[in-house]
Structure 1
Amino acid sequence: MGGRTAVIAGAGIGGLAAGCALARRGWRVRVLERAGEIRPVGAGLGVAPNALRALDVLGVGDAVRGRALRGGGGIRAASGRWLMRTDQDGVRRRFGDELVVLRRSDLVGLLLGALPESALRTGARVVSVAPGRAGRPACVEVHEVDRGGSETLEADLVVAADGIDSAVRRALFPRHPGPVYSGATCWRLLARPEPPVGEAAEIWGRGRCAGIMPLRDGSVYAYLVAPAPEGARAEGGEARALREAFGDWCDPVPRVIGSAPEDAVIRGDLRWLATRLPEYHRGRVALLGDAAHAMLPYLGQGACQAIEDAVELAHAVGRGDTPERRTSGSDTVPDALAAYSSSRAPRANAVAAASARAEKVTRMRSRAGTAVRDAALATASRMTPAVFMRQFDRTFGWEPPAE
């Protein structure tokens, strides 16, 4: 049999991107998803210029750009006052590309369309992974969720894209403390308010924030963040909890909330890996996305970094359409994963740390601190708008590795 095999645990955005990236480089790919069907978790997401460049490598960048709604936006206070204005033309001039907001299901659909038809296997839960080493393959024990059977797969490469509660990460790094709760919960929803929302805005209050992002089809993706006890749920329904928490905010926040049915509201606590992993690999196993560096959402980079991971991982391991001989001097995967880890960990960890710092500004609680924050942002946007945009240079400026 020719060619090298890769088994990917998890069919979220990171896992699907890894499958596409590896397949394009000649690998025989299996993407294992424990759910019986692909149901994207969440409502919408932003794809920043760095991730668009990565999606170009996967062949779907232009399709994502085609879903962009071009127009103005910026940051507002809860009262409605604009603190800072931005526009897509300014983003393109500075970063060479735009910022696209789309339905999460749209991006998942594009990645599924770019994946080889036979690569996806649903209803398959990864039970354990033996990471292998130079000269020996990795072994993945898979349990068939619906039928109750199990089997062991051998692979030249295993990619752990199984999310923030990654079972593979726990097995490979048993002393790592895992994710921690940030103290805030997030509601996400898709709605179609009337009249339609014209401009995108992130809205900052005291200890709370909201994002209202119009989509090209006339609907709105909204996210709303507020402090809450971990694991709490609203007795009267999540839509009612949103109306109580944000009902006195500026339009269109109450209007968007009011247009969303209860079953459209998704609630999830915001957790992250506050303790960094020492590396993103063990043997023939690479960690990717939330399994490696789950981060808070305040820079909108969680999915973007996972897509970057996928492209850099595929570049590091090289072509897959020749057999791995697994003899001394020719078994390249473990060394390639060490290079991937050395490249990705500093960048993704830095973005995660920056996201945590952004939370402290976005969700500032004191009245005096909030007033100073809003005044400083408004002044900076009038006097030196480039200074605000400059802080994103390092994040948005990533380029795919040269072939």
Structure 2
Amino acid sequence: MRMRKAAVVGAGVGGLTAAIALRRIGWDVSIFERWPRIVAEGTALGIRPDAQAALASLGLGERLRERTVPYRHARIRTPDGRHLADLPLERIERRGGAPVRMLSRVSLIEMLVEEVDPATISTGVEITDPAALRDSHDLVIGADGVRSAVRQAFFAAPTRPRYAGIVAWRGVVHGFEPQDYGETWGRGQMFGMTPQSPGVTNWYAPVRTPKGVRETLGDLRARFAGWHDPIPRVLAAAEEDAVLRHEVHDLAPPLASYVTGNVALLGDAAHAMTPALGQGACQALLDAAGLAACLRDHPGDVPGALRLYDARRRPAAERMVTASRWMTRLAGAGRLAGPRNALMRLGRR
């Protein structure tokens, strides 16, 4: 029997995971990445139990545990340090049977790359004619991010990247572990801290910012001046060239399908979302594992397997998109921050 061929466009979390999963079920996979090298940058990712199970199904469970730290307790506070609520980490652990585990994106990408045959990766290749890939492969996977060339080529929907009005800042602090992890919610901005590895703390700060405005690290420090300790100290220790900053985009309106013919989208190419729930990487992992499972169970019917993938993954992913958008608005509330805080305190009683 001829080995089936798949082209994966994009070598991020979703694309690499899809390539690994497909190879495990007998597919010949080629990966195309437009950057000159696979970009392994970023700070901490919270890997939830379902995404941990997806990695375990690819034989990566033990390495995941070796590289991660559990995240079990965290609070939401006001800028003056008052306790508003607890993040639902204990509930996630009860329901999923495992704690959320924190992992740097760099470490995750490295772990995935180790599982991929280097000969199957072509870097510095920008796919300008996805139709040619479709003609020469049994399956084309668009894992090429929010501005996906694959989505633009094959999906006629008016779905486009939309600026969410937020700039996300991220960084790490070495040799420092705060007394309490969690998030601090203010007016139009929030600040969060999580563990990343022993002795390393991840911080993030989504702030409402007009489109096109580029603030400096000094501006960010001024935004959080007067917030409770250790937030000003963490920002004072941050170095300009080590801090990541990017405008947040989601997709609107949502796609009516993640598949067409022998083409499938996954990750941000299908459902880019705001970062409030920290679910972008987890959803890409679940997409990739779910897609491979459908193809494994329906080996002779690629279009049918893709329709099943869409039926299983799109409703779940779109629920996460909606929840993340709602949580982004809640955490970054402006004039309604006062009523929001009052309701959250009532919910603790």
Change in CA separation of 1:70 and 1:342 when aligned onto 2, cut-off 3 Å: closer
Matching of residues 382-397 of structure 1 within 5 Å: 383=349
Tell me, what secondary structure is at the counterpart of 2:119? coil
Q: Deviations over 1:93-125 (max 9, x none)?
A: 233111122211011111112223432221122
Matched, 1:138 2:120: no
Q: Is the 8 A contact 1:184 1:226 kept in 2?
A: yes
The runs of 5 or more residues in structure 2 that have no matched partner are none
How far apart, CA to CA, are the structure 1 residues paired with 2:50 and 2:190? 25
Q: 2:304 aligns with which of 300, 315, 335?
A: 335
How far apart, CA to CA, are the structure 2 residues paired with 1:94 and 1:138? 40
Matching of residues 100-115 of structure 1 within 5 Å: 100-115=101-116
Q: Post-superposition shift, 1:209?
A: 0.9
How far apart, CA to CA, are the structure 2 residues paired with 1:64 and 1:190? 20
**Once structures 1 and 2 are overlaid, which stretch shifts more, 221-230 or 53-62?**
53-62
Q: Is the 8 A contact 1:179 1:273 kept in 2?
A: yes
Tell me, what secondary structure is at the counterpart of 2:7? strand
Aligned residue in 2 for 1:391: none
Matching of residues 146-295 of structure 1 within 5 Å: 154-192=136-174, 195-234=176-215, 238-295=216-273
How far apart, CA to CA, are the structure 2 residues paired with 1:79 and 1:299? 23
User: What is the identity percentage for the equivalent residue pairs of Structure 1 and Structure 2?
Assistant: 37
Tell me, what secondary structure is at the counterpart of 2:127? strand
Q: Post-superposition shift, 1:89?
A: 5.6
How far apart, CA to CA, are the structure 2 residues paired with 1:171 and 1:86? 40
How far apart, CA to CA, are the structure 2 residues paired with 1:119 and 1:247? 49
Alignment TM-score, normalising by the size of structure 1: 0.81
Q: Deviations over 1:49-84 (max 9, x none)?
A: 221111111222332233114553221111111222
Q: Post-superposition shift, 1:175?
A: 4.2
Aligned residue in 2 for 1:374: 341
Aligned residue in 2 for 1:6: 6
Q: Post-superposition shift, 1:86?
A: 5.3
How far apart, CA to CA, are the structure 2 residues paired with 1:293 and 1:377? 29
Q: Is the 8 A contact 1:157 1:333 kept in 2?
A: yes
Tell me, what secondary structure is at the counterpart of 1:196? coil
The runs of 5 or more residues in structure 1 that have no matched partner are 132-136, 140-153, 325-329, 384-403
Q: Post-superposition shift, 1:41?
A: 4.1
Matched, 1:352 2:333: no
Q: Is the 8 A contact 1:10 1:161 kept in 2?
A: yes
Tell me, what secondary structure is at the counterpart of 1:226? strand
Q: Post-superposition shift, 1:304?
A: 0.8
Tell me, what secondary structure is at the counterpart of 1:365? coil
Q: Post-superposition shift, 1:294?
A: 0.6
**Once structures 1 and 2 are overlaid, which stretch shifts more, 154-163 or 222-231?**
222-231
**Once structures 1 and 2 are overlaid, which stretch shifts more, 2-11 or 82-91?**
82-91
Q: Is the 8 A contact 2:73 2:87 kept in 1?
A: yes
How far apart, CA to CA, are the structure 1 residues paired with 2:22 and 2:84? 43
Computing the radius of gyration from Cα coordinates, the structure with the larger value is 1
Q: How many residues were matched structurally?
A: 348
Aligned residue in 2 for 1:97: 98
Q: Is the 8 A contact 2:40 2:110 kept in 1?
A: no
Alignment TM-score, normalising by the size of structure 2: 0.93
Q: Post-superposition shift, 1:211?
A: 1.1
Letter aligned with residue 17 of structure 1: T
How far apart, CA to CA, are the structure 1 residues paired with 2:165 and 2:113? 34
Tell me, what secondary structure is at the counterpart of 1:181? strand
Matched, 1:318 2:314: no
How far apart, CA to CA, are the structure 1 residues paired with 2:18 and 2:180? 34
Q: Post-superposition shift, 1:87?
A: 8.2
Q: Is the 8 A contact 1:231 1:269 kept in 2?
A: no
Letter aligned with residue 146 of structure 2: I
How far apart, CA to CA, are the structure 2 residues paired with 1:96 and 1:71? 12
How far apart, CA to CA, are the structure 2 residues paired with 1:231 and 1:86? 32
Q: Deviations over 1:23-48 (max 9, x none)?
A: 11111111111111122243222111
Change in CA separation of 1:49 and 1:206 when aligned onto 2, cut-off 3 Å: same
Q: Is the 8 A contact 1:18 1:314 kept in 2?
A: yes
Q: Deviations over 1:224-245 (max 9, x none)?
A: 01111113212xxx32121111
Change in CA separation of 1:319 and 1:335 when aligned onto 2, cut-off 3 Å: closer
